[in-house]
Amino acid sequence: MTNATAKSFLLTILQRDAADADPTADARTVAALVEREAATVRALREAEGLRHLVLVSVGDERLREVSRMPLWGEEAARAAEAEFVRAAAAADAVIAEPHRANPLAWRLHDKEGSDDVTGPIRWSGVTLRDAAWMGDFREGPVLHWRSNFRRELWSTPERLRRGPGVAVTTSPAGASNTGERIRLGGSVIRDEDGNEVVRLPRWTPEAATLRVDVKTDGTLAVTPVTVPAETDEATDPDVIRIEALVRAMRAFVASTGSEGVVIGLSGGIDSAVTAALAVEAFGAEKVTGIMLASRYTSDESRALVRTLTANLGLPYVERSIEGVHAAMAEGMEEDFGGITPGGIPDQNIQARIRGTWLMGVANAKNLIMLCNANKAECAMGYGTLYGDIAGGFAPIADLWKREVRDLAAALNRRAGREVIPEAIIRREPTAELRPGQRDRDSLPEYDLIEKVITEKAGRWAPDELATEDERRILRLFGIMRFKRRMSPTGPQMSPAPLAKYDARWPDGVQYPLK
């Protein structure tokens, strides 16, 4: 027997644009979507006297703090609010953003709502609350709200049954104009059994409207009223990462007014993946790849870069740094007795020559230099300041070496051909700054670095560090924080970027004990 309906209302979830740098333009997009949904359901709303609630995803600090931004200021904030109010009034709807961190200016609802920014909203006998409040239920049905990527909270019926009600998980769509914060979109509504009812597309502003029926037994039933057209979206997590990184690069380069990017190519997997992502983001005509060779550059590296550039549609460009290196070595001889070939000063000078060369090309052609550092290298400080740790944007800085390899394989699968040569994916990492150099001569294994940082950073105890490699990893991780502070920015691709660890430790503290 079907439960009788006690009350009903219309619910619109609205996925806004996280990439729009202009809050007034974003507000116009929101208003247009509200008006579109309201027009579509107007006949149903008027026939049954239904109220209309619109939930707007924010989730981006830039939008939450717009009134304090010097570029736009309070006038723009008021204009954005006016767009919300106008859209709500025209639709006879309420716009609510029940997110605990948001200022009241972004929460526009009627007198039935709470004036407490941390409190839940009451609507037509239903409590709207953030999922964090799950331990303190009021009587009656609950519509749980969760923003951003916390979709796994409601991924199974068992989890949803931690509390009664329908679950809304929403995220803005796109990359912020700094390229650092990426919002997937793909907002979703699940019913009380955890089944997916509606999912919005990724990467684009969109909206959907549902009818919510409040049953006499306190349960909720949701029925789609307007649903966006289905799109052929990738389900492979690595392909989704590719989409995210491409959008982050586009957003950052567009925000700088640059005309493309320049990359140093080495024959290694990090520069190969960065170059492939750049070509996908901007097209080969806006990507400049240069191999800056030295006496230590192997024929294998040259051959691999030739194959890579041919696969990507880039010209093969090779330049020698030997002339500049010789001049610097001669000029510095008086200061510290000359440069020992293969020594640390010699290795760092090579890297800095390359960094200076690439930055010169970037300046001359109005390009952004991309940094090829991965997360393990950033964690260990395995790189040269003003050398290979240089540039404007570091696309893979929040990806472990394993994830970079997975991304290379995904790029090949997605293209249906070998974009990145298999020999590069299998190749043992080397910086080629001295004869016979391999990364593992200077670093613990990359997989061990990932394991130790992921499992023990911030949770270590001296008796748990079983090996010298583990102690060394955490020691370097703490010491090299200064390099990370001076490194190019990059997109956040994980829940735990290295900056999150760095922020927890006081300056000057050795970590861990020697």
Q: What is the DSSP string of 323-347?
A: HHHHHHHHHHHHHHS-PPTTSHHHH
Domains defined along the chain, listed by start: 5-233 (3.60.110.10), 238-441 (3.40.50.620)
Q: Which two tokens stand for residue 436?
A: 């016979």
Instruction: Please say if the pLDDT value at position 312 is more than 50.
Output: yes
For residue 167, CA distances in Å to 10, 146, 476, 503 come to: 15, 8, 43, 33
Which has the higher per-residue pLDDT, 328 or 220? Answer: 328
Instruction: Please say if the pLDDT value at position 62 is more than 60.
Output: no
The C-alpha angle 464, 428, 374, rounded to 5 degrees, equals: 60
Q: Is 144 helix (H, G, I), strand (E, B) or coil?
A: strand
Which pLDDT score, from 0 to 100, does residue 169 have?
A: 61
Going by pLDDT thresholds of 50, 70 and 90, the confidence category of residue 497 is: confident
Instruction: Please say if the pLDDT value at position 223 is more than 90.
Output: no
Which pLDDT score, from 0 to 100, does residue 284 have?
A: 97
Kindly report which listed range (40-54, 134-148, 342-356) carries the lowest average pLDDT score: 134-148
Instruction: Please say if the pLDDT value at position 209 is more than 50.
Output: yes
What is the per-residue pLDDT across 332-371, written as a single tens digit (0 to 9) for each? 888 877 788 888 888 999 999 999 999 999 999 999 999 9
Of the segments 124-138, 198-212, 398-412, 422-436, which one has the largest average pLDDT value? Answer: 398-412
Within 13 A of 67's CA, how many CA atoms are on the CB side?
Answer: 12
Predicted model pTM: 0.79
Which pLDDT score, from 0 to 100, does residue 226 have?
A: 85
For residue 315, CA distances in Å to 20, 236, 305, 383 come to: 34, 31, 10, 27
